[in-house]
Amino acid sequence: MADRLTQLQMCLDQLVEQFNATVNYVNSSSEPAMLDDDPTSVANIAASAPLPGQQQPPQQPQSQTQTAQQQQSPHSPSQSNAQTQQASSNGSNKHTVSNHPSVRAEAESNFENTINELSTDIILKSRQISMLIDSLPGIGVSPESQLKIIEELSEELQQVEQEHVKKIEEKDKLLKWCESLIVEVATGIAETRQ
């Protein structure tokens, strides 16, 4: 298991990913809305402008379009229907939902439920981060106490290191004693066989 700082970093990364996913979902799934009350304001006009890669020709009212088509060379009815369908499909917005009230209500309900789930996930992750921060050592402790604790731990570490060195020396002595014992036993066996 990772230490608390690593856990905290992982939680922060996950929180950023959750924020990113939530903003992306809202951008891609929500209905367009006016930025302020005035529909002719610069902010609303800029927000409703098509993206640079999706420039659409300015649309004329339908009666002017039909009149212009009739004045040009005569087309077959199927060609004019295909052009009308193409023009209407070019003007459609990916955000529009069917005008049927039940479909619209269901889409809004699904959107609200998903937003609630995403916001709950963000809140839970924020609480987890707060708990990890609260559990970090040194929170609520003065710098002098922290220095004192560090000095005590340093002294304890030196004592443990000295014990470790003594144990290594003891192990080496025992290993030499075992080796000499094995040599004596092997020599004794060899002498009895001769």
For residue range 145-185, list pLDDT tens digits in order.
Answer: 888 989 999 999 999 999 999 999 999 999 999 999 999 99
Mean pLDDT along residues 128-136: 89
Assign 14 a pLDDT band (cuts: 50, 70, 90). Answer: very high
Both tokens of 97, joined, read: 């939902």
87: pLDDT strictly greater than 60: no
Above pLDDT 70, what percent of the chain?
73
Return the half-sphere exposure (C-beta side, CA atoms, 13 A cut-off) of residue 132: 17
Its pTM stands at 0.47
Query: For the ranges 51-55, 115-119, 130-134, 156-160, which has the lowest average pLDDT?
Result: 51-55
Q: Which residues of 132-154 are buried (b: 16+ CB within 10 A; e: fewer)?
A: beeeeeeeeeeeeeeeeeeeeee
Q: Which amino acid is at 193?
A: R
Q: How far apart are CA 116 and CA 122, in angstroms?
A: 10
- pLDDT by residue (tens digit) across 91-110? 444 444 456 777 777 888 88
**Per 3-state DSSP, what percentage of the chain is helix, strand, and coil (rounded to 5)?**
75, 0, 25
Sign of CA dihedral 152, 158, 161, 163: negative
Measured CA to CA, the distance from residue 89 to residue 85 in angstroms comes to: 6
Q: Which of 111, 105, 19, 91 has the alpha carbon at shortest distance from 48?
A: 91
